Amino acid sequence: MVVGLGAGEALPVTKGEGEEVIGGTINQQGLIHVRATRVGADTALARIVALVQEAQTSKAPIQALADRISGVFVPVVLGMALLTFATWYGLCLAGVVPDSWIEEGMDSFLFSFLFAVSVVVIACPCSLGLATPTAVMVGTGVAARLGILIKGGAALETAHKVSAIIFDKTGTLTNGKPVVTDVLRVDAACAHLDIDERAFFTLVGAAESASEHPLGKAIHAHALLHGALHGDASGQPLPQPRDFQAIPGRGLSCHVGEFGVFIGNRLLMRDHAFSVPDHVESFMASLEEEGKTCMLVAFVRDSNGMSASLLCSGRTS
């Protein structure tokens, strides 16, 4: 059996004017005006809650079988309990049961009644009718807390037959947190501006320290991992970014020390007349075929020309 699954976007999606947003949408910069089109029971969250509640109260196909069996099993068990009571009570009245078997403070009726209760407890007819709905309620509840929505008991019952799962979005298979996986620096360009590996990550990490974008945070964390933001060799604190500007749909620009730093996509590079070498384009294309997102980094020294390097940021899979 094959089941197809689809989850949300692998990465945050930028929304523009007139587009629909839902609860949990983050306004990263600027002013936003939102018009509520659904409130109360009409919201997406309310519909999800209703779906979980409906799933918990729905009957699985096997529960119908359990109900039919219970309809016969319960009367049989109760009949056997009555028969047990009548048998033992009759034996007590006939004097077959020794008086030593009956404890002090207990009469023949209570002695026989305990045997009847034991039959009902051991047979436990209630468990047959309660096991399935309890399992459905617990299963759907636990799944909902883990972010998995199950439409009802029938889907839950069928799950054990699944032999293959088809995912229609790569985001379904990720951790949901972008990380840097590959880095390519244009050595010749960096050497022209006297930017070694440590300086490279220092400038990039300092620039992204002011960013709220998920990819920016991933790049900043990667720079921290390389020790770029722990200060220079003399132990002096690193400079803070100046003139920071987040450009929606493109990236960011700022100044760090004597360098202007631009981090973003191809549109940002094109807007500022930065050329991307052919081997860099080929490298980016190969990463993008793997489902990764690439970010370009360009440096401009205030007093001496410009240089372009590449920082590739991808998500784990």
Q: Would strands 304-315 and 251-256 be described as parallel, antiparallel, or unpaired?
A: unpaired
Nearest to 91 by CA among 103, 78, 109, 75: 109
Residues 79 and 64: their CA atoms lie apart, in Å, by 23
Write down the H helix ranges in the chain.
Answer: 44-57, 61-93, 108-123, 125-145, 153-158, 187-192, 197-208, 214-225, 266-271, 278-289
Q: If you search the block for the tokens 């051991």, which residue do you land on? A: 122
Q: Nearest CA to 204 among 236, 235, 228?
A: 228
Residue 140: how many other CB atoms lie within 10 Å: 26
Residues 208 and 263: their CA atoms lie apart, in Å, by 8
Active site (annotated) includes residue 182: no
Half-sphere exposure of 238 (CA within 13 A, CB side): 24
Q: What is the DSSP letter of 272?
A: T
User: DSSP letter at 101?
Assistant: G
Q: How far apart are CA 126 and CA 131, in angstroms?
A: 8
Question: One of 168, 187, 194, 232 is an active-site residue; which one?
Answer: 168
Q: What is the DSSP string of 30-92?
A: S---------GGGSHHHHHHHHHHHHHHSPPHHHHHHHHHHHHHHHHHHHHHHHHHHHHHHHH
Catalytic residues: 168
